[in-house]
């Protein structure tokens, strides 16, 4: 991510969205375009779900595949599917 360039739409200070936008975060990598905000929210949710799964697997030796967090995996799969469809 480059500061000064929206990570979703690629707009910059000199080339803002047609509707007009400003920076939505302190690192200047996300603008206030509703589409960008929505994509960013979805990405955050995806990351959260992925991190839950990772956290589980990072518990290391002794992990039992019978206790895999299916809920988390399901949520992740659903979120990915939704992201692909949108
Ligand atoms: Zn943007
Ligand atoms: Zn923008």
Ligand 1 center from residue 21 Cα (angstroms): 8
Ligand 2 center from residue 47 Cα (angstroms): 23
Q: Is the pLDDT of residue 65 over 70?
A: no
The alpha-carbon radius of gyration of the chain (Å, integer) is 17
Ligand 2 center from residue 17 Cα (angstroms): 4
Pair 36, 6: CB distance under 8 Å: yes
Ligand closest to CA 10: 1
Ligand 2 center from residue 20 Cα (angstroms): 7
- In tens, the pLDDT along 4-19 reads 999 999 999 999 999 9
Question: Which residues are within 5 Å of ligand 2 (an ion), measured at CB?
Answer: 6, 11, 17, 21, 31, 33
| pTM over the 0.85 mark | no
Q: What is the pLDDT of residue 84?
A: 52
Q: What is the pLDDT of residue 8?
A: 94
Q: How far apart are CA 81 and CA 77, in angstroms?
A: 6
Q: Is the pLDDT of residue 76 over 90?
A: no
**Max Cα-Cα span within the chain:** 54
3-class secondary structure per residue, 13-75: CCCCCCCCCCECCCCCCCECCHHHHHHHHHHHHHHHHHHHHHHHHCCCCCCCHHHCCHHHHHH
């Amino acid at each position: 991510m480059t500061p000064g360039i929206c990570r979703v739409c690629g707009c910059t200070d000199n080339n803002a969205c047609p509707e007009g936008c400003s920076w939505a975060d302190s690192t200047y990598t996300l603008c206030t375009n509703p589409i960008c905000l929505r994509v960013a929210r979805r990405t955050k949710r995806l990351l959260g779900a992925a991190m839950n799964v990772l956290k589980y697997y990072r518990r290391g030796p002794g992990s039992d595949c019978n206790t895999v967090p299916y809920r988390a995996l399901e949520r992740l799969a659903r979120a990915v599917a939704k992201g692909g469809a949108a």
